[in-house]
Amino acid sequence: MRVKVLYEFKAQPNSGELSINANEILTVNRQDVGEGWWEGTNQRGQTGLFPAGYVEPMVTPTEPEAPAPQAMPNSQSAYDFGDGDWGEDDWDDDDDSQASNSQSNYDYSPTAHTSNATTPSSQMPPITHVSGVPKPSQPQQQTVRKSFNRFSTFVKSGGEDYILGIKTLTVNETHFIYIVESDRVGTYQWAPNPNPSNVSIDKPKKESKMKGLKSYIAYQLTPDSTGIQVSRRYKHFDWLHERLQDKFTTVPIPALPDKQISGRYQEEFIEHRRLQLQSWVNRICRHPVLSQSEVWQHFLQCGADEKRWKSGKRRAEKDELVGASLFFAVQPPAMSQSLDIALVDRKMDQFSRFVSKMDDSVKLLYITAQDQSKKFGGPYKREFSKIAHSLHTLSDAFAFSGVDGHHNNDRLNNAIKHTSDTYEAIGKLYVEQPKYDFGPMSDILHEYKGMLTVWPDILQVHKGAINKKKEHQKMLDEGKIDDKSVAQINQRSDVVTLSTLAEINHFQEERIVDFKDAMQHFLTQQILFYESIAANLKQTLELYNF
């Protein structure tokens, strides 16, 4: 496959990366590198990694089979959670598996991987430079693989049967999920969790098993409802995530933090992962339905008792109230008549278009945030170092002036030297800054990217339900069926609609609060940053008062 370079990319030295220039033609050797990287060879025969988003496939009429990789459900996307060569071993290992080699699974360093020669040097996902809003059909559109079969899961799990009343299920009241009308007329929401609680994740611990052959990170979770700390590994989160996805057809389960290449900055990496998991956990806690689910409670409350853990695990895995069956548990508010089809269509249509626009804009802002983070630590920092170096050279020259006994000469020198140090220090501020502004912004955007990817599938599920309602309405109009059977179909279809609307409502409320908080946090940190630069400069300016 040959691709054309859209945007220049500079390789980090000794990273296995390949510098590419706009309009250059590359031959792609590997697309399964992961993390948004591809491996390719340029026309000078140099081979290395580059960001997949920086290139576009060469469209040749004679090559209609040219793949648009991310558009195919089975291809590996940049945010794929599937098994790849690139995962940290700790993230892949199975509970019951034996350590298959003597190499420590905890070893994050690239040398632990056979594919090490092509390991990108940066911990950050690649920057996809986009000058405009990416269209949904562009390869930039990343997809979480697990959600691809959501619709067919719905069908398979009996969605159609549910609507048509072919299958019935008696649900215990303790599992009821209530929908209520919200303050705003004509809108619906999940009934709030009567016992909301928070969960804190403490500093993770490195633990090991198999006599030290396997080691992993254990996160310590403390729900304030119990106050009892439980220890969870990433794979437990992963398992929980899968259960939640299976169970809640109308809820976009937030994605877990990406798999990342690490090995460097281990401490920072682990702390960042902790913050991301904390945010994920907070999102579950805030969700009226997820936070009350049995599997979540099991995850939070089961202690070190392995038997209890396994039985809860099996129970969750055998849960009947998953996929479409969960609708049997949904209790809609009392309604005088069935929902107006045209109104629902309009609402869903609007939301669908909104999701698409928000998806585009979140991706664009994410790319920008990642790009800025990279630039702060690289080019920006280097610019300040250059200024510092130039001033240092001047001060060195002045120290050589031979103007003996001239106090102002010495004071000037000292001041210029200090100014040089100040610019070097400002450069370091730039390196640190993304941790405080663009980094946290990237994290929240990443969470939204995940949820936004799932929404189209949820809306598809809804469309399936409302189409059944429409079909039966038509059959009724044609006198093919009676009022009674239509009323039941309408009622069940409305349960799907109301569930979807309740989730949309939750999503919108969350979105407003999340983006308000994110922007406030971001701007506050930016202000502190620029003020801190000014403060540094003020201090050095003082030295020129002689």
Which positions make up the binding site? Answer: 233, 235, 273
Nearer to a copy of itself, 281 or 415 (CB): 415
Distance, in Å, from the CA atom of 485 to the CA atom of 501, rounded to the nearest integer, reads 24
Nearer to a copy of itself, 210 or 527 (CB): 527
Token pair for residue 247? 């169970």
Output phi, psi for 40, to 5 deg. -150, 175
Token pair for residue 217? 């990170």
Q: How far is the CB of 523 from a copy of itself (least distance, A)?
A: 4
Interaction of residue 479 with a copy of itself, rule CB under 8 A: no
Q: Do 274 and 219 contact (CB within 8 A), yes or no?
A: yes
Q: Do 53 and 36 contact (CB within 8 A), yes or no?
A: yes
Interaction of residue 92 with a copy of itself, rule CB under 8 A: no
Q: How far is the CB of 54 from a copy of itself (least distance, A)?
A: 15
Q: How far is the CB of 190 from a copy of itself (least distance, A)?
A: 16
Distance, in Å, from the CA atom of 250 to the CA atom of 496, rounded to the nearest integer, reads 8
Pairing of strands 47-51, 330-331: unpaired
Candidates 115-123, 148-156, 229-237, 367-375 — which segment interacts with a copy of itself by CB under 8 A? Answer: 367-375
Interaction of residue 362 with a copy of itself, rule CB under 8 A: yes
Q: How far is the CB of 341 from a copy of itself (least distance, A)?
A: 18
Distance, in Å, from the CA atom of 110 to the CA atom of 262, rounded to the nearest integer, reads 8
Q: How far is the CB of 532 from a copy of itself (least distance, A)?
A: 9
Of residues 490, 497, 510, the one with CA closest to residue 187:
497
| Secondary structure letter of residue 539 according to DSSP | H
Site string for a copy of itself, 375-404 (x = CB under 8 A): x---x---x--xx-xxx-xx-xxx-xxxxx
Nearer to a copy of itself, 265 or 530 (CB): 530
Which of helix, strand or coil describes residue 354?
A: helix
For a copy of itself, which residue of 160, 181, 371, 510 counts as binding (CB under 8 A)? 371
Q: Do 108 and 263 contact (CB within 8 A), yes or no?
A: yes
Distance, in Å, from the CA atom of 417 to the CA atom of 393, rounded to the nearest integer, reads 9
Q: How far is the CB of 282 from a copy of itself (least distance, A)?
A: 19
For a copy of itself, which residue of 142, 279, 372, 453 counts as binding (CB under 8 A)? 372
Q: Which residues in the 483-542 window bind a copy of itself by CB under 8 A?
A: 508, 511-512, 515-516, 519-520, 523-524, 526-527, 530-531, 533-534, 537-538, 540-541
Nearer to a copy of itself, 205 or 516 (CB): 516
Of residues 298, 299, 294, 284, the one with CA closest to residue 232:
299
Interaction of residue 343 with a copy of itself, rule CB under 8 A: no
Q: Which residues in the 1-30 window bind a copy of itself by CB under 8 A?
A: 21
For a copy of itself, which residue of 266, 409, 460, 488 counts as binding (CB under 8 A)? 409
Output phi, psi for 77, to 5 deg. -90, 165
Nearer to a copy of itself, 228 or 519 (CB): 519
Q: Do 264 and 305 contact (CB within 8 A), yes or no?
A: no
For a copy of itself, which residue of 205, 264, 315, 357 counts as binding (CB under 8 A)? 357
Token pair for residue 227? 């106050």
Token pair for residue 28? 């792609």
The number of beta carbons lying within 10 Å of the beta carbon of residue 290 is 21
Q: How far is the CB of 340 from a copy of itself (least distance, A)?
A: 16
N residues, the chain: 546
Q: How far is the CB of 181 from a copy of itself (least distance, A)?
A: 14
Candidates 32-40, 265-273, 299-307, 371-379 — which segment interacts with a copy of itself by CB under 8 A? Answer: 371-379
Output phi, psi for 501, to 5 deg. -65, -40
Interaction of residue 406 with a copy of itself, rule CB under 8 A: yes
154 Cβ contact list (under 8 Å, min separation 6): 249, 323, 324, 461, 464
Distance, in Å, from the CA atom of 343 to the CA atom of 291, rounded to the nearest integer, reads 30
Distance, in Å, from the CA atom of 375 to the CA atom of 527, rounded to the nearest integer, reads 18
Interaction of residue 431 with a copy of itself, rule CB under 8 A: no
Site string for a copy of itself, 120-159 (x = CB under 8 A): -------------x--------------------------
Site string for a copy of itself, 170-209 (x = CB under 8 A): --------------x-------------------------
Nearer to a copy of itself, 49 or 369 (CB): 369
Half-sphere exposure of 310 (CA within 13 A, CB side): 5
Pairing of strands 199-209, 214-223: antiparallel
Q: Do 249 and 324 contact (CB within 8 A), yes or no?
A: yes
Size of the site for a copy of itself (CB under 8 A): 67
User: What are the C-alpha distances in Å from 354 to residues 20, 184, 303, 364?
Assistant: 35, 20, 42, 15
Q: Which residues bind a copy of itself (CB under 8 A)?
A: 21, 133, 184, 347, 350-351, 353-354, 357-358, 360-362, 364-365, 367-369, 371-372, 375, 379, 383, 386-387, 389-391, 393-394, 396-398, 400-406, 408-409, 412, 415-416, 419, 508, 511-512, 515-516, 519-520, 523-524, 526-527, 530-531, 533-534, 537-538, 540-541, 544, 546
